[in-house]
Amino acid sequence: MRIFKYLLVSILVFASCKSAKTITSDNVVLENLSARRVAKKHEKASFNEKTIDARLKVKYKDRKEDVSFSVHMKLKKDEVIWLKGTKFITVFKAKITPQKVRFYSPYKKNFFEGDFSMLKELLGVDVTFGQLQNMLIGEASLDVTSQKQEVEIMNASYRLSPKKQPTLFDVFFDINPTHFKLNQQSVVNSIKEQRLDIKYPSYSIKNKVTFPNKVLIHGKNKQNFTKIDITYRSVEFNKNLTFDFRIPSGYKEIKL
């Protein structure tokens, strides 16, 4: 189960780039924009490259563990996310498509194959491939243009929230006024005292692409908390990538 937790950590991170030009929203005067206009600007700022090839460092902490490891991530937009986690040796490999989640551990000699209903059971909410991908590239996990939004100015950001929130939880998207990518997105279940905050402290521009430098993930409930600090060492766009993945014979299947 620990290896699968590392997999989920890696799914919920995204790649970024190193550049001389870093963008923040410091000292920006926010205009009074309508919710519709903010949503449209966020949509216009969408990531449109074909592939991502990234190297990142992940630090993970909860009440029981405090660990760090490296991740190589390859992504083909709307089709596949490939991950390889290492800590001196290969800890896991994973391949996620819109239909299936697959991973195996050379260290544990075990593997898992399943659909996204498994992620719903673990996370408590419906999760699609598109939502995971958006988390990786600094974009809202829900389509903010598909339904009416409310807007308010908070923490030097435009905060969007659906006029009609989902049944089981509330979602909020803090939009950066400079480039209209996310500063933060939050999922809150007040009844169960659960929340997940994903923060994007800064962005850089590489090859005219605005992309996150770092992500901070903080999840908590009544019993536990999770903190994830991801630093992105490098990123390249539009490379010709391969996504080789084969579960070795003899590995034990994990049933979740």
Q: Provide the token pair at 70.
A: 């490296």
State the pLDDT at residue 17: 33
CB under 8 Å, gap of 24 or more: what pairs does 95-104 form?
95/243, 95/245, 96/11, 96/129, 96/132, 97/129, 98/128, 98/129, 98/130, 102/245, 102/247, 103/3, 103/4, 103/7, 104/247, 104/248, 104/251
pLDDT per residue over 51-68, tens digit each? 999 999 989 888 888 989
Please choose, from the candidates 222, 204, 226, the residue with its C-alpha nearest in 3D space to the C-alpha of residue 213. Answer: 204
Hey, what are 224's tokens?
Answer: 């536990």
Q: What is the structure's pLDDT at 162?
A: 94
Which residues of the chain fall short of a pLDDT of 50?
1-7, 9-24, 122-124
What was the pLDDT predicted at 24? 45
In contact, 175 and 161? CB cutoff 8 Å? no
Q: How far apart are the first and last CA of the chain?
A: 8
Which domains does the chain show, CATH number per domain? 2-239 (2.50.20.10)
